[in-house]
Structure 1
Amino acid sequence: MAGAQDLFDPIVMADDRFHGEGYQEGYEEGSSLGIIEGRQHGTLHGAKIGSEIGCYQGFAFAWRYLLNGCAAERDSRKMKVLESLIGMIQKFPYDDPTYAALHEDLDRIRGKFKQLCSLLNVQPDFKISTEGSGLSF
């Protein structure tokens, strides 16, 4: 009789076996798709941050060039804030996506940019869209 029970064991245990195999296949497929989706998400958000930082840098370089021509006493504060912004941008870790304080540093750069815009009396409008990004005034 023990031989008869062993004959039906594969049939009785099929549900558990198929559940385990299905779980393993789903896990492997999900891991693979998760890596692909994570890379796409990271690339998209990294490009947005890079575009934003690039606009700030171009803005700062243009204003440094404009303010160097007229180095008046009243422009010294503007130059200090401008040089501070440029320094922060140059120290930003572009090549380290695991940098722990990335968002904090980005927020500091945004704040310094807003401070500079206030001192220069310009109203920027930074937009990121599917057509590209831009900084308008």
Structure 2
Amino acid sequence: MDVASCEPDAFEAVFMADERFHSEGYKEGYADGSHAGVIEGRQYGALRGANIGSEIGCYLGFALTWQHLLHKCTDEKHSKKIRVLESLIGMIKKFPFRDPTYDKLQEDLEKIRGKFKQVCSLLNIPSDLRISTERSALTF
């Protein structure tokens, strides 16, 4: 009897195979999914970061150009426009481009967008920048 109790039960091995294979499959699938998720997340983050950088770069170029154009005019009505442009430029220069973990990134981005719309309103320029070609469109 002792010999029979030491031998593994063939039915138990077959019965437990389903659970064992399920567990192994789960572990392999989880590892593969985690790896694929990191790759996909990195690609999405790079694309989203490039879009934000392009948007803010456009705002900065716009503001610097108008600042240069308005500095030539010395009348009183352009002083408010220049102050708002300088405020927008200051906000952009303080924006944390190199810190993706910055907790107020979206909030600061929305403030910059709002300031840009304010500048456009003061300059009587439509704020929806659309540069369209056959293949691509730049919209904010």
Amino acid at match of 1:44: L
Measure, in 2, the Cα distance between the counterparts of 1:16 and 1:134: 53
Q: Which runs of 5+ in 1 are unaligned?
A: none
Residue of structure 1 in register with 2:111 after alignment: 108
Amino acid at match of 1:76: S
Residue of structure 1 in register with 2:136 after alignment: 131
Indicate whether 1:35 and 2:43 are aligned: no
Larger radius of gyration between Structure 1 and Structure 2 = 2
Measure, in 2, the Cα distance between the counterparts of 1:78 and 1:104: 24
Q: Residue 51 of structure 1 contacts residue 133 of structure 1 at CA under 8 Å; is this kept in 2? A: no
User: 1:50 pairs with 53, 56, 77, which one?
Assistant: 53
Describe how 1:1-137 pairs up with structure 2 within 5 A. Answer: 1-3=4-6, 6-127=9-130, 131=136, 133=138
Deviations 1:36-73 (A, max 9, x none): 11011111111111111011000000001000101211
Q: Residue 63 of structure 2 contacts residue 85 of structure 2 at CA under 8 Å; is this kept in 1? A: yes
TM (normalized to structure 2)?
A: 0.88
Q: Residue 127 of structure 1 contacts residue 134 of structure 1 at CA under 8 Å; is this kept in 2? A: yes
- 1:30 to 1:127, Cα distance in 2 relative to 1, 3 A: farther
TM (normalized to structure 1)?
A: 0.89
Q: CA deviation at 1:132?
A: 5.6
Q: CA RMSD in A?
A: 2.0
Greater strand proportion:
1
Measure, in 1, the Cα distance between the counterparts of 2:131 and 2:43: 17
Q: CA deviation at 1:118?
A: 0.6
Number of residue pairs aligned between Structure 1 and Structure 2: 135
Q: CA deviation at 1:4?
A: 5.3
SS at match of 2:101: coil
